[in-house]
Structure 1
Amino acid sequence: MTLDTLTGIAPVIVILIALLAAAIKILREYERGVVFTLGRFTSVKGPGLIILIPGLQQMVRVDLRVVTMDVPSQDVISRDNVSVKVNAVVYFRVVDPQKAIIAVEDYLMATGQLAQTTLRAVLGKHELDEMLTERDRLNMDVQKILDAQTDAWGIKVANVEIKHVDIDESMIRAIARQAEAERERRAKIIHAEGEKQAAVALLDAAKMLSQAPAAMQLRYLQTLTQVANDRSNTIVFPMPGDLLEGLMAKRAAPAGEPKP
C-alpha cells in the first residue's frame, strides 16, 4: 500500500473511528441512559454497553444514586410571630429516568427550589416550641409533601432533616426567662403538695394520739429527750396545755375558797 493510498484513506479511518466512538457508550451500574431517536423518546438503557446510531440517536445520562442537597438558610416567621432562620438537608434519588429528563428541565434545581418553599410553608404553620421539640414530626411533614409533589418528576424523596433553627439573641433570653419561671412554678407546686401531704399526716397522727392519753405523754417525754440532746444555749421547754389550764384555774380561784 503506497503512501498516497494511506493518505487517501486516512480521513475515512478517522471518520469511522469518530462514528464508532459516538455509537458506543458505556454506562456504570448506577447510571441509566435516556435515548432519543430523531428527538423522540425511544427507551431507557443501561447499565453496560450501549450502541447508538450516530446522528440519529442521542442519549442523556441519569445518575440513580442518592443526592444529598443542602437547603440554604430560610427566613421563617412562626405561627406565634417569631422570626427564625432554618436550614435543612434533603436526600432524594431518581426512580424514573424518563420522567426526570422529560417532565422537568432540571430536576436538581426544581427539587431544591421546591424544598425551600415547602420548608418555609410547613414551619410557618407551627409555633417556635414545636420547631424546637417536635423536629422529627416536622421532618416527616416536609418529606411527605416533597415526595408527593416530586413524584411526577420521577423523584423519590427519602428523608428530610432540619439541621439548625437559629433564634435571635433577645428571643434566647426570653426563652431562658420562661424556662426559669416554669421551674419556679413547678418548685412551688411541689412544695405546696409536700405541705399538703404533711398536714394530712399530722392530722392522722393527732387523731391517733388523742385516742390514747398515755401515748401523748410518751410523745411529750420523747420531745423533752430530743431537746435535752440539743447543745444550743437556748432551750424551748414545751408546756402541756392541760397543765397550764389547771394552774390558771387555781390562781383565778377566790381567796376564801379552798383550793382544789
Structure 2
Amino acid sequence: MQLSATNYAKIVTGYADDTGVSFDPGEPDPTSLAAENADDQSATEPVSYSTDDGSVTNAEETEEDADTDSGEDGLAAAFGDAVHRICELDRPESEWGDIINEAFEMHDIDPTRANRDEIITHSRRGLAAVQTLHRELQNPLTYNELFVRASLDVGAVIGYIDHLAVTDDAYYILDFKTSDTSARAPTEIAERYWPQLRAYAVALAQQDPRERDIHALLYFTDADQVERTKITPEEIGEIRTTIQETLTKVAETTELGPES
C-alpha cells in the first residue's frame, strides 16, 4: 500500500480532515483524509492505497469532499497551488498570470476569482526564501518538485519535495506552506507538518549510502517566517519505525493488507 506524506502526517498528528477535528492516530479513518488541511492552502489530495495487484485505489469520496472546490476551501486550494507552482517553476513575473489561471482552472474555479495581489505577494516571499537558503549554503545543488518514496516492509510513503538543496554533508528540505497564520503562530502550525518532512528524510536517506544530516524547513508565506529542525542519521531508524507502525495500522484498518 502507498500513503501520501501529507496524509501520513495527518494520521500521526491526529488531524483527520480540513476542519482540524482530531482523531485517534491508532485508529485512523482513511475516508476522512480526502482533503488537505485547511491550514495549508495547497492542493487537495485524496488518500490513495496500492493494492496487492499494484493498482491504486482511493478512499471513497464523500459529498462534502466532492463539493470542496466550489467553496472557500476550493479557493484556498487553488491559491496554494498557484503559489507552489510559481515558486517551483521560478518563471518571470510576466508569466505568473498564466500560471495562476492554470492553477484555478485545474480546480474548476473561474480565474477571475483569484486574489492575484495576495498570490503574487506570497510567491515573491517564497522565492526570496529560496534565494536566502541558496546564499546561506553557497550555491548548493537544487531540485524542485522532487518525487521521493520511503519504502517500508508493509508499503511506502510517497510525496513531492517542493525544493531540495544538497551540499556535501547535508540535505535541506524546503516546504512551502500558505497557511493562514493570523490565529495561530507558525511554530504551532508546524507541528502538524514535521512528520511529512520526516518521511521525506527517510526517503532521502534510503537513496544515499552516505550519512548526512537532513535539515527540514517549513516556510510560511503568510507570516514570511521559516521554522527549522534538524534530523540526524541516528534519528532516521526511529522515524522509519514510526512510519512502519503507522502503515501497518492503516493496512489493518482498511483491510487492504500489506503490499506484496
Report the TM-score, using the length of structure 2 for normalisation: 0.20
Higher relative contact order (CA 8 A, sep 6+): 2
